[in-house]
Amino acid sequence: MRILMAVVSMLAAFGCSQKTAETGAVPKVAESTTAAGHSHAKGKMLIVDAGRYHALLTAHLSKEGNELDIFFETAGADPKPIALPLASLRADIQVRTGQGELRTIAFDPAPAEERPADEVPGTCSHYVARVPWLNPDAEHRVILRISLDGQDEEVRWNSFVPKQYAHHTD
């Protein structure tokens, strides 16, 4: 019985460890997408932990120009939008194919009509970045560094494929 328990424990540990493509190392919890070391999807959004909140990333793919959207919500069984007191966000985005060019992009608050009506002025739960150069079929890494509740956080979506997580495509 002890041998069976040991094998089950080893398989569980092996199943949740994810090595990074760059170094082959298992990421630390602080750098992983969730405490379990892997990300989750909600509809057409890729969810990661952002301090005590969740950050959801989705793409808007359009002939008029591509965009990325970030939504913040409470963590838990019944998530609700959480408006943060941040005027804008800066993120590094890197295409993980070829040379992996690194670009810094700016996320600004989404138009008021695209956010919950009860958001207090000076806060926002939905941010948008214009990325006309975005390759919808390539895997991207998006790294957002922000301060939440007085703590510096690195929010990282490691395997974001815009076409897979597009809430709009035309």
pLDDT tens-digit map of 86-118: 988 999 887 765 566 788 999 999 999 999 999
- Asked whether the beta carbons of 74 and 86 are under 8 A apart, the reply is no
- The rounded radius of gyration (Å) of the Cα atoms in the chain is 17
Q: How far apart are CA 25 and CA 9, in angstroms?
A: 20
Question: Average of pLDDT values for 146-167?
Answer: 91
Query: What pLDDT, on a 0 to 100 scale, did the predictor assign at position 131?
Result: 93
Domain architecture of the chain: domains with CATH = 28-169 (2.60.40)
Query: What pLDDT, on a 0 to 100 scale, did the predictor assign at position 97?
Result: 53
Query: What pLDDT, on a 0 to 100 scale, did the predictor assign at position 43?
Result: 86
Residue with structure tokens 């301090």?
A: 51
Helix (H) or strand (E) holding 31: none
pLDDT at 22 over 90: no
Query: What pLDDT, on a 0 to 100 scale, did the predictor assign at position 164?
Result: 94
Question: Average of pLDDT values for 130-156?
Answer: 91
Whether this prediction's pTM lies above 0.85 is answered by no
Q: How far apart are CA 162 and CA 105, in angstroms?
A: 15
pLDDT at 153 over 60: yes
Beta bridge partners of 40: 47
